[in-house]
C-alpha cells in the first residue's frame, strides 16, 4: 500500500466529522451496479446518524494524505434498523451477539491496493475487542443476472468476501428501499446475508443449520 495512504478507525461519536464524507462516497460508489442508487445528501446524513449515536459502532477511514478516499462501517446488529434486525429475530437468533458490517465505499482509482482488505481487518479487530459477539454479518443486494444495467465487465465481490471468511446464507435476506437511477420512486430491493462465525464453540448445530 502506498505510504501516503493511511487507515484509521474511529469509534462512535469520534466519527461524526466523517459523516459528510461517508455520505458523499455512498452516493458516488452506490450509483454503480449492482446498487444503482440515486441518493440525496439530506437522506444520507439522516440515515448515517445511527452510527455516531452508537458507542460500539466503528468507521474505518482511508486517507491519502489528508483527503478521505474511502470509509467502511460497522455496528452491533441490535443498533441497526428493524428491517435488518427482524430476519435474525424471526429465526430465533440473539441479535446482541451479532455484529453487522455496513458499507465499504472506496473511490475507484484506489481499488486493488489492499485497502478493502484492511477495511475488513480493522472492523474484525474492533469486533474481537468487545468479546461479546459470536457472528459477523452483512448483506448484499440481489440483482437478476440479465439486469439491463449490468456492465459487461462486472465482477461480483463474492470471491473477495469468501477470502475474508464469509459464507453466503441459504435463505436469510432483508429488504431495503431506495430509488434506482432513472426511476421516479423508491422500490424494495432484496439483500442476502453473508456470515462469518467467530467462535466455533458457540456455533452450535442448530445455529448453523438455521442459516447456512
What are the DSSP E strand ranges found in 126-185?
Answer: 135-141, 167-179
Helix, coil or strand: residue 25: helix
Q: Are strands 135-141 and 186-197 parallel, antiparallel or unpaired?
A: antiparallel
**Using one digit for the tens of pLDDT, what is the confidence trace for 92-136?**
999 999 999 999 999 999 999 999 999 999 999 999 999 999 999
Query: Which DSSP helix (H) or strand (E) runs through 86?
Result: helix 82-90
**Using one digit for the tens of pLDDT, what is the confidence trace for 130-187?**
999 999 999 999 999 999 999 999 999 999 999 999 999 988 999 999 999 999 999 9
What domains does the chain contain, in order, with CATH numbers? 5-211 (3.40.630.30)
CA-based Rg of the chain, rounded to a whole angstrom? Answer: 17
**Using one digit for the tens of pLDDT, what is the confidence trace for 29-42?**
999 999 999 988 87
Give me the pLDDT at residue 76, please: 97
Banded model confidence at residue 207, pLDDT cuts 50, 70, 90: very low
Query: Which residues face 68 on adjacent strands?
Result: 63
**Phi–psi pair at 190, nearest 5 degrees:** -90, 135
Q: What's the mean pLDDT when you consider all of the chain?
A: 90
Banded model confidence at residue 43, pLDDT cuts 50, 70, 90: confident
Amino acid at each position: 500500500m502506498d505510504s501516503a495512504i493511511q487507515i484509521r478507525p474511529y469509534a462512535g461519536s469520534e466519527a461524526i466529522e466523517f459523516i459528510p464524507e461517508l455520505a458523499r462516497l455512498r452516493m458516488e460508489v452506490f450509483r454503480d451496479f449492482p446498487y444503482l442508487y440515486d441518493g440525496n445528501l439530506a437522506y444520507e446524513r439522516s440515515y448515517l446518524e445511527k452510527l455516531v449515536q452508537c458507542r460500539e459502532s466503528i468507521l474505518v477511514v482511508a486517507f491519502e494524505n489528508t483527503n478521505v478516499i474511502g470509509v467502511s462501517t460497522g455496528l452491533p446488529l441490535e443498533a441497526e434498523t428493524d428491517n435488518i434486525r427482524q430476519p435474525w429475530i424471526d429465526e430465533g437468533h440473539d441479535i446482541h451477539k451479532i455484529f453487522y458490517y455496513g458499507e465499504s465505499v472506496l473511490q475507484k482509482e484506489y481499488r486493488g491496493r489492499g485497502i478493502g482488505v484492511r477495511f475488513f481487518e480493522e472492523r474484525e479487530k474492533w469486533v474481537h475487542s468487545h468479546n461479546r459477539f459470536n457472528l459477523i454479518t452483512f448483506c448484499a443486494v440481489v440483482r437478476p443476472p440479465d439486469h439491463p444495467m449490468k456492465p459487461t465487465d462486472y465482477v461480483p465481490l463474492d470471491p473477495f468476501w469468501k477470502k475474508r471468511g464469509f459464507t453466503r446464507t441459504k435463505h436469510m435476506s432483508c429488504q431495503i428501499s431506495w430509488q434506482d437511477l432513472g426511476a421516479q420512486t423508491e422500490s424494495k430491493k432484496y439483500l442476502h446475508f453473508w456470515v462469518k462465525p467467530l467462535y466455533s464453540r458457540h456455533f452450535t448445530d442448530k445455529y448453523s443449520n438455521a442459516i447456512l
